[in-house]
Amino acid sequence: MTVGIHEYLCLGALLFVCGVVCMASKRNAIGVLIGVELVLNGANVNLVAFARYNPIFEVEGWIFALMVIVLAAGEAAVALAIVLNFYNNHMTVDVDTAEELKG
């Protein structure tokens, strides 16, 4: 039994969907952030799987995955800062209260 690229991609897809559902269902801003991290990880799994199974993308896949990791870290930092700010202003982390963008 060999593991092909499909299995990895399925894992990535699972992570991605988990992230999306997490973002969609969590009312806590941190929970949303966690969902984002899951989505990014799902994408990363894909990238690395491609790098493994397509020699042309070998280095590129790794480098993209690295960059995603780095950017995810930055994103997490900024998102947390926003959450803190939001919390300071609204005394809550419930994303449903942040509905100023409502049309």
Partner 1 sequence: MEWDFGQHPGLIFVVATLLPLASFALLLLAGAARAYLRSIKAEGSLSERLFAWLGGEATGRGPAWIATAAIALACVCSVVGFVWFLADAHDVHEKVHHAKAEIKNLETKAKNVSAPDGAKTSPKKKHDHDHDHDHDKHEAGKGHGAAGKTLSQLHKEIDRLERDFEQRWSGRIKWAWLWYRGDAVKKVPSHIADVNHGTALELGFRIDHLAGIMFVMVTFIATLIHLFSIGYMSEELQQKVEDHEVHTPYGHLQRRGRFGRFFMFLSLFCFSMLNLVLADNLFQVFLSWELVGVCSYLLIGFYYERTSASNAANKAFITNRVGDAGFLIGMLILWTSLGTLNFQEMFARLRTPLLDAHHTPMGVPSILVRADKDPDAVVEGGGSFVVKGSVQSRPEPGDYVLILPRRPHFHAEDRPFEKGAVHEAKAHPSPREFGYMPYWMLVVAGLGVFLGCVGKSAQFPLQVWLPDAMEGPTPVSALIHAATMVAAGVYLVGRAYPLFTPEVLLTISYVGAITLFVAATIAIVMTDIKKVLAYSTVSQLGYMMLGLGVGGWAAGLFHLVTHAFFKALMFLASGSVIYACHHQQDMLKMGGLYPKMKITALTMLMGVLAIAGVPLFSGWYSKDAIVASAMGFWLADGNRHHALLFVLPLLTAGITTFYMFRMWFLTFTGKPRDEHVYEHASESPYLMTVPLIILAVFSVCVAWPVSNEEGETLPFVLLDAEASWLEHQIHHAQPASVGADFDGHVGMPASLTKAKHQEAGLLALGMVIIGMAFALITYYWGFLDPQESKEQFPGVHRFLTHKWYFDELYSVFFVRPALVVAGWCKNFDLKAIDGVIHAVARFGVRTSKESGWTDNRIVDGLVNLLANVWWAVGAWLRHVQTGYLRSYVLFLALAAAGIWIVLRSFQVN
Partner 2 sequence: MEAFLFYLIAGVTGLCAIATVVTQNIVRSATWLLFTLAGVSAIFFLLGADVVGATQLMVYVGGTLVLVVFGVMLTAQGPFITMKTSSAEWAVSATVGLILLAVLAMGIFTLGPTRLSRPDVPSPSAADKDNHPRLAQIREGLAKKALAEEKLISETKQTANLNSQPGSAPASAVIGEALLGVPAGPPHIEGVGATARPVRATYLLPFEIVSVHLLVVLIGAAYLARAKRRRGASS
Residues found near partner 1 in the complex (CB under 8 A): 20, 23-27, 32, 35, 95-96, 98-103
Q: What is the number of residues in the chain? A: 103
Which string of x and - marks every residue 27-66 that binds partner 2 (by CB under 8 A)? xxxxx-xxx-xx--x--xx--xx-xxxxxx-xxxxxx-xx
C-alpha–C-alpha distance, residues 41 and 12, integer Å: 7
Upper half-sphere CA count for residue 73 (Cβ side, 13 Å): 5
The reply to whether 98 sits near partner 2 by the rule CB under 8 A is no
The reply to whether 103 sits near partner 2 by the rule CB under 8 A is no
